[in-house]
Structure 1
């Protein structure tokens, strides 16, 4: 089953900048590469830093360790 597609309109200068940055030959491929890279970086960052909900837990643990020491 094919994946659904979405059409997005961009300013021509922005599309050209994205094409040059990504090295793609057309705007569609360029935007797809940039979005995929952005998503991959986001997932890698979350894997390294944890979820937003983890922040309170980690701060609480540090306080507990400091208080007990």
Structure 2
């Protein structure tokens, strides 16, 4: 996998290290990014299920309305 070098504010990195419980800035930032991506995938999965249910409801035959 390709690697990318970036610059971040030191206070931000220290905060991430404390919250993630790691001793390495690289590991801390990587954990945060991986968690962010995983959350996005979980959200997509839940949203997709909801969308499918709504489509099934909309596609179901409707009772005639009105006279």
TM-score (norm 2): 0.73
Gaps of 5+ in 2: none
Gaps of 5+ in 1: none
Write the mapping of 1:11-26 to structure 2, written as runs, cut at 5 A.
11-26=9-24
**Which residue is 2:42 aligned to?**
44
TM-score (norm 1): 0.71
Give the greater-gyration-radius structure (CA).
Answer: 2
Query: How many residues are treated as equivalent by the alignment?
Result: 62
